[in-house]
Amino acid sequence: MTHELEFYIDGRWVAPSGTQSFDVINPATEAKVATIAMGSGADVDKAVAAAKRAFPAYSRTSREERLGYLTRILEFYDEGSDEIAELMSLEMGVVRNFSRNAQIALGRAHLATAVDVLKHFAFTEQRGDMLLAREPIGVCGLITPWNWPMNQLVVKVAPALAAGCTMVVKPSEYSPLSSLRFARMVDEAGVPAGVFNLINGDGVEVGEAISRHPDVDMVSITGSTRAGVAVAKAAADTIKRVHQELGGKSANIIFDDENFDRNVALGVKASYLNCGQSCSAPTRMLVPYQLMEHAAKVAAETADALAVGTPDTEGTDLGPVVNASQYKRIQTLIETGIKEGATLSAGGPGRPEGLDKGYYVRPTVFSGVTPQMTIAREEIFGPVLSIIGYADENEAVRIANDSIYGLAGHVQSSDIARARRVAAQLRVGSVYINQAPWDAAAPFGGFKQSGNGREHGEFGLGDFLELKAMAGYGVHQDARSA
């Protein structure tokens, strides 16, 4: 890697204004793998000024020009995918096969979808005498998380570029290396100077400076609900658009039918995806009361069969969680689950056997969890599953909706009419029925404290546009042609 101690501003790699730095730690080994520069408000000012200067020209580029930039970025992404996958394994400990087959693949799917959407998107629409024009919102601050570095970077950068916006990007300081590599791709693709700018830094200084800046027209953040609140408060004085994809505590309602055991096993694996570090993970499994013990047994067997180890070890299913503070928080919540009376069916506190270094968590299953327990309400962000009982369909829906979050929901039933009926009642942004496949074009975002706005496909592009109505457009047009 290069440029760890630089920022990408106005089409050039530049030195930071200050001298603050941050050590990037490999969570699998606890060893330092890089040192990055940390930005300040002065760096944000420079980047925003560059984006503001670039906006008038870039906002008027043609669809074909923007397609050219996105297509070239996609080509460079494909060429550099192996390198980016290695960087993500290094900075966040994700298992290498998962890094290539999921982390890289999802980022690519979103880039390809953005290209396809841009080809066909209707930026203008005439209704009688009025023209509706969807125009780029302006300078955008894009704040991305550490858990899906490429996916979350691409779902903000690609639609912003497609819309004609300019941007200042702040990746997480815990996973900056892959984002720096992506910035090199944007540069190689020939995106005009000032359109894309990247500054490393923390949320307290750089994130707040972006959110508060009067020349930033929109902030899009993916992160914790706490971070989303901080961004919204900082942005309030300048009345900018705030787009948030935040936390989740998704319910997975499993009904009693012939696929029950399979659905439980698949639910366990889904909740542990990316080592449980996914905001839409189905970490609350809801099963009929009379099947609680059986579900716990199937879930425990599934969890115990998963191999936890270093990211480069063949056959490893789960690597470490991202850092020491996250590891400690997960351990505290596991201990809390035990103290509050949940049954520990698999896993538990401490590292898995044979791993004495690295932030590894035992795949953990709690059964007999009640809806008011801490582990049933807080987003743990690790491989910890809570199994909760319900008496009937109505209670299952009530428990699923009894959360401050509303990002995703899951329903498993061979009775499709019942599955649809339940899905319609869930107060969430996305519902997956019977392990429905992921779709890059589907809107993604949440209700309640899971945020606002939508990402992915045409919906993500739409959130970077403002709607302008031009009345009398048809009349004037006719008059000019007469």
Distance CA 93, CA 244 (A): 26
Distance CA 179, CA 173 (A): 10
> Which backbone phi and psi does 134 adopt, to 5 degrees?
-100, 110
Kindly give, in sequence order, each residue whose CB lies less than 8 Å from that of residue 105, ignoring residues fewer than 6 positions away. Answer: none
User: How would you classify residue 193: left for phi > 0, otherwise alpha for psi between -120 and 50, otherwise beta?
Assistant: beta
Are the beta carbons of 449 and 404 closer than 8 angstroms?
A: yes
Are the beta carbons of 207 and 191 closer than 8 angstroms?
A: no
In terms of Cβ atoms closer than 10 Å to its own Cβ (0-12, 13-18, 19+), residue 91 is buried
**Other beta carbons within 10 Å of 226:** 11
Nearest Cα to 10, choosing from 182, 217, 205, 198? 198
Catalytic positions, written as ranges: 245, 279
In terms of Cβ atoms closer than 10 Å to its own Cβ (0-12, 13-18, 19+), residue 393 is middle
Length of the chain measured in residues: 482
**Other beta carbons within 10 Å of 185:** 18
Q: What is the DSSP string of 101-159?
A: IIIIHHHHHHHHHHHHHHHH---EEEETTEEEEEEE--EEEEE--SSSHHHHHHHHHHH
Distances (CA, A) of 334 to 76, 328, 343, 363: 42, 10, 11, 11
Distance CA 331, CA 65 (A): 50
Count Cα neighbours of 205 within 13 Å in the Cβ-side half-sphere.
Answer: 16
Q: How far apart are the first and last CA of the chain?
A: 62
Determine the distance from the C-alpha atom of residue 109 to the mean position of all C-alpha atoms in its chain, rounded to a whole number: 14
Distance CA 259, CA 342 (A): 26
Distance CA 350, CA 360 (A): 8
